[in-house]
Structures are given as C-alpha cells and as structure tokens.
C-alpha cells in the first residue's frame, strides 16, 4: 500500500493544527500559575484578559485558522449557501473580537510591568526570607524564593517589586521581561495586519479580482509582515521560553498552509477560466 504525497501533506498540515490547539493548554497552564500571584484575591471579570491574554488569543486564533481552512480548502463553491456563509462570517467576527481583546490584554500586561517599583531597604533576594516571595524568572513565570536558591537570583543589588504581587526581580531581569512583553504586543499587532491582508485576499479571490496590483501589493505586504513575525520567533528562541518559540514557529507554518490554499484556489479558478480549444 502506497501513500500519496498529497495525503502526507494533508496529514502534516492537520498535525500542525492539532499541535496549535494543544498550545491553548500550555499557555493556560503557564498563565494560571502566574495569575495566582498577580491576583491573590481572585480574578475579577475585567482582569480575565490581563490574566489569560495568551490563552484567549491562542484559542481565538485556532478557531480563526479553521475558518480560513474551511473557506480556502475544505468547502467547495456549492457549499457556500447563505446560512453557511453567515455562520462562517459570524464566527470570524467573534474570533476577531477576542483577538483584538487579547491584543489589549498584552498592552495591559506591558503597562503593568512598567508599574514595577524599587523595593526600598532590600538589597538581596535572601533578605526577603522567610516571607513568601517569588522571583520573576521570565515573562509570566516565577520561582519561589528559598534559602537554597535566593543567593543565585540576586546576591546584591536593587530589586523591583511588581504592583500588588509578592514577586521581585533585578534590573536586568525586569528589562528582559519588558522586552518580551513588547514583542508580545508587536507580534499580536502584526498578526492582526496579516489576517487583514488575508481577508482582503480571500474576498478579492471570491470575486475574481486577486491579480495585478492587488496581488503584488498583497505579496509585498505579507513579505514584510511574515519577516517581522519570524524575527519575533527568533527573539523568543533566544530570550523567551520554548512554548513561546514553538507557538510562534507553528503559527508561521500554519499560515504558510493557508497561503498555499489560496494559491491553489487561485490556480484552479484560472484554469477554469481558460477556454477549451478543440
């Protein structure tokens, strides 16, 4: 029994989609731990986006990705009835609402980091013991300070405390965390621009107008945007944690598949328009 190259391609594509869906859990697991420190009195409704911005963002993006997959590959023209079209568009609008909501969550988180203040009269992490303090190892990740590890975090120097949290970090650590938060904001904003361009591509393709200047402008814009996303992934690879890097890499791969779907869709439409010469 042989397996066609197209079957392998489709298997790999949907494997990537499943891996992205699994990242919802990994982000939730990471953020729920951080939220326990950031919101010790419980998470109010208006704090949900700040506490779980990455989880909400990833979940909305996974659903949106599936909408793009349905529209650009799975469904044929005959499937686009009025009800199906309204359903797809309604789900997309809902996803975009959550994605924009998550974008402002990243902005809120960045703002929160700039509210860190100097912890007066404390020059080392060990001086905080035996009170229950934690050390910010990276963005949204904290390690409990103990007698065994406190000297390794900050033997001597100025410490910064995050507002309302029993968590501290030194200046270098705070700078690195702020930079990672900036990358979150920029990455989220760039992805919003990517899907805006893709939405325009899909609508133009539906009306047979995705060619000429429109095609050239779209390709140029996406070349710049995907390059910025690649830079973000590389930065996370060096400065962030594996989950951030892996998630960024998978999303780039996933949207390459969507781009290929649109390319194949356009090629089929062009072939259908070629008159048959007998």
Query: Does 136 have pLDDT greater than 60?
Result: yes
Relative to beta strand 134-138, strand 167-170 is parallel
pTM of the model: 0.80
End-to-end CA distance of the chain: 39
Task: Dump the DSSP string for 77-128.
Answer: GGG--HHHHHHHHHHHHHHHHHHHHHHHHHHHHHHHHTT-EE-TT--SGGGG
> Quick check: 50 and 112 in contact, CB under 8 A?
yes
Which residue in 53, 63, 59 sits closest to 30, CA to CA? 53
Per-residue pLDDT at 206 exceeds 80: no
Contacts 24+ apart (CB under 8 A), 205-212: 205/262, 205/265, 205/266, 205/269, 208/269, 208/273, 210/262, 210/266
Please give the full DSSP string across 52-88, using - where no structure is assigned: SHHHHHHHHHHHHHHHHHIIIIIS-GGG--HHHHHHH
Q: What is the mean pLDDT of residues 216-234?
A: 91
| CA–CA distance, 23 with 255 (Å, rounded to integer) | 16
Residues 53-103 have pLDDT tens digits of 888 888 998 998 888 888 878 777 677 688 888 888 888 889 899 899 889
Calculate mean pLDDT across residues 118-144: 88
Domain boundaries in the chain?
5-115+174-270, 117-171
- E strands, the chain, in order: 117-118, 134-138, 141-144, 159-161, 167-170
pLDDT tens per residue across span 138-171:
888 889 999 999 888 876 778 999 988 899 999 9
| Cβ contact 160:119 at 8 Å | yes
Per-residue pLDDT tens digits for 10-55: 888 889 999 999 989 888 888 888 888 778 778 887 778 778 888 8
Is the separation of the CB atoms in 169 and 179 below 8 Å? Answer: no
Beta bridge partners of 169: 160
């Amino acid at each position: 029994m042989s397996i066609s190259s197209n079957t392998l391609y489709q298997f790999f594509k949907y494997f990537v989609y499943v891996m992205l869906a699994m990242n919802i859990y990994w982000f939730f697991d990471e953020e729920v731990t951080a939220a326990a420190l950031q919101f010790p009195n419980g998470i109010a409704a208006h704090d949900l986006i700040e506490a779980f911005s990455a989880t909400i963002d990833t979940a909305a993006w996974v659903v949106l990705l599936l909408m793009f997959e349905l529209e650009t590959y799975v469904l044929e023209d005959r499937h686009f009835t009025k009800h199906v079209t309204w359903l797809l568009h309604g789900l997309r609008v809902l996803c975009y609402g959550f994605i924009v909501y998550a974008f402002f969550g990243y902005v809120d988180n960045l703002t929160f980091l700039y509210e860190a203040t100097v912890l007066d009269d404390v020059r080392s992490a060990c001086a905080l013991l035996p009170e229950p303090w934690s050390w910010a190892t990276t963005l949204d990740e904290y390690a409990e300070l103990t007698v065994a590890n406190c000297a390794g975090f900050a033997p001597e120097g100025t410490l910064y405390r995050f507002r309302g949290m029993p968590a501290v970090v030194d200046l270098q650590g705070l700078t690195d965390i702020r930079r990672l938060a900036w990358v979150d904001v920029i990455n989220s904003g760039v992805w919003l621009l990517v899907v805006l361009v893709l939405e325009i591509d899909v609508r133009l393709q539906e009306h047979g107008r995705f060619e000429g200047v429109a095609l050239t402008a779209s390709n140029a814009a996406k070349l710049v945007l995907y390059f910025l996303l690649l830079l973000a992934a590389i930065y996370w690879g060096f400065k962030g944690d594996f989950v951030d890097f892996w998630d960024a890499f998978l999303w780039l791969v996933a949207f390459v598949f969507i781009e290929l779907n649109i390319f194949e869709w356009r090629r089929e439409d062009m072939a259908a328009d070629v008159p048959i010469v007998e």
